[in-house]
Amino acid sequence: MSIYFDNAATSFPKPEEVCEAMLQYQRELGVSSGRGAYKKALEVDGMVFKTRSLLGRLFNIKDATRIIFTSNVTESLNLALKGLIESGDHVITTHMEHNAVWRPLKVLEEERGLKLTVLSCPEGEKFNPGDLEKAISPETRLVVVNHASNVTGTLMPKEAGGICREKGVPLLVDAAQTAGVYPIDVEELKVDLLAFTGHKGLLGPTGTGGLYIAPGIDLKPLKEGGTGGESILERQPDHLPDKYEAGTPNLVGLAGLGAAVRYILDRGLENIRRHERELTQRALETFPQVPALTLYGPSSAEERVAVLSFNLGGLPPEEVSYVLDEAYHIMVRAGLHCAPKAHRCLGTVDRGTVRIGLGIFNTEEELEYLTKALKEIAVQAKS
């Protein structure tokens, strides 16, 4: 038996319905969408729209044409950042961002003279909304924050959207760690750009993701090319989603993603959140019983999603991960998790952390087994 605790990287296993939908598409349909007017092509077109529409239901997006499909959240973030930021713009972000935000911002700093303000998140706690309010200036073009950290699971302060809306600054939210496991209502959160991936909490296959673009936001496309329709035009069509969706889409992936979102809606997002919150609370209670274990981030499950980072005494995280895999068949992640700035807040930039990402198929028994394994490793390390 092996136990998978790396759902923050990608969720596993996927619901059977997801695998079946992908197989059904590949075996029985298999044709392109938007590129033909025969029945099968129109059926695939309908399947792609259904996936878009289900995502709209999940995120309370009324106009599903404003959901752009991408290959992952990294592409979504690049489209939003590089499509919006112009020469000399001011952008506000936080120390807890993933490299999918951080690296495009550094490129824009170099190439377009972007001015960056970075909000601090001491010890991996959420940033102070008052700091955000103070940082916004007339030159601020965008605020970009993660909805939950991929290192500590820390949730963004709820006030962020209201502050940005009041100041008239668009808010881009990186929902890589929350889409599918935590309620997202773009109206309530006052989000202008929502970047999400299909293969983590949404339980879909890798190679899927998307970006919601609120009305009034216009981005320059990241790529140009064929859209199936309006072929006479020498430029990209203005209509959504075609403006941003050049090239044949990942249809087998979108078939799976549609089935995955339907699974989440049927199971109920509130039930998924409850299960993960209970597991997180259990981990927050039992991990401190492990000798020499240092746990990072908020102490309450209410303030985080089911992502937990820790270190075990002076042991290198890679060593802990290796022993868990070899001796206990438990899969966890070790290192900086593509978020080096976050580790500066935690004081772990020189070594990283061990990270567990809990998912809807994990159980309390599996968590107990992990705690027992960690206790044994800690004892052996001491001796």
Partner 1 sequence: MLLKDVELTYVSPCLADPQKIRLKARLSDDISEVMPYLNSVVKGAIYNHHAPNISFHKEFRLITLYPTEMTMIKALNTTDAWQVIEWLKELINKTHEKKDEIEPSYERKRRPHPLQLYTWLPATNCRECGELSCIAFAVLLFSGQQKLERCKPLFTEKYREHKEVLMEMASVLGGGEDIRIHY
Catalytic residue among 19, 121, 164, 338: 338
Q: How far is 259 from 250, CA to CA, in rounded Å?
A: 14
Candidate segments 29-37, 71-79, 90-98, 202-210, binder of partner 1 by CB under 8 A = 29-37
Strand partners, 173: 145, 194
Q: Is 338 a catalytic residue?
A: yes
Smallest distance, partner 1 to C-beta of residue 197, A: 21
Q: What single DSSP character describes residue 360?
A: T
Question: Tokens for 120?
Answer: 């601090």
Q: How far is 210 from 103, CA to CA, in rounded Å?
A: 19
171-174 and 140-146 as β-strands: parallel, antiparallel, unpaired? Answer: parallel
The answer to whether 250 contacts partner 1 (rule: CB under 8 A) is no
Closer of 243 and 275 to partner 1 (Cβ): 243
Please state, as a whole number, how many other Cβ atoms lie within 10 Å of the Cβ of residue 166: 11
Smallest distance, partner 1 to C-beta of residue 207, A: 20
- From the list 46, 215, 268, 347, which residue makes contact with partner 1 (rule: CB under 8 A)? 46
**Distances from the Cα of 280 to the Cαs of 125, 143, 173, 376, in angstroms?**
16, 29, 23, 21
Closer of 61 and 114 to partner 1 (Cβ): 61
Closer of 240 and 315 to partner 1 (Cβ): 240
Q: How far is 117 from 90, CA to CA, in rounded Å?
A: 8
DSSP element (H, E) containing 118: strand 115-119
- From the list 230, 318, 364, 368, which residue makes contact with partner 1 (rule: CB under 8 A)? 230
Map the footprint of partner 1 across residues 55-114, applying CB under 8 A: 63-65
Smallest distance, partner 1 to C-beta of residue 194, A: 18
Smallest distance, partner 1 to C-beta of residue 52, A: 7
- From the list 130, 225, 226, 229, which residue makes contact with partner 1 (rule: CB under 8 A)? 229
User: Where on the phi/psi map is residue 255: left (φ > 0), alpha (ψ -120 to 50), or beta?
Assistant: alpha
Smallest distance, partner 1 to C-beta of residue 245, A: 9
Cβ neighbours of residue 239 under 8 Å, at least 6 residues apart? 65, 230
Contact residues: partner 1, CB under 8 A: 33-34, 37, 39, 42-43, 45-46, 48-49, 52-53, 63-65, 227-230, 232-233, 237, 239-242
Active site residues: 338
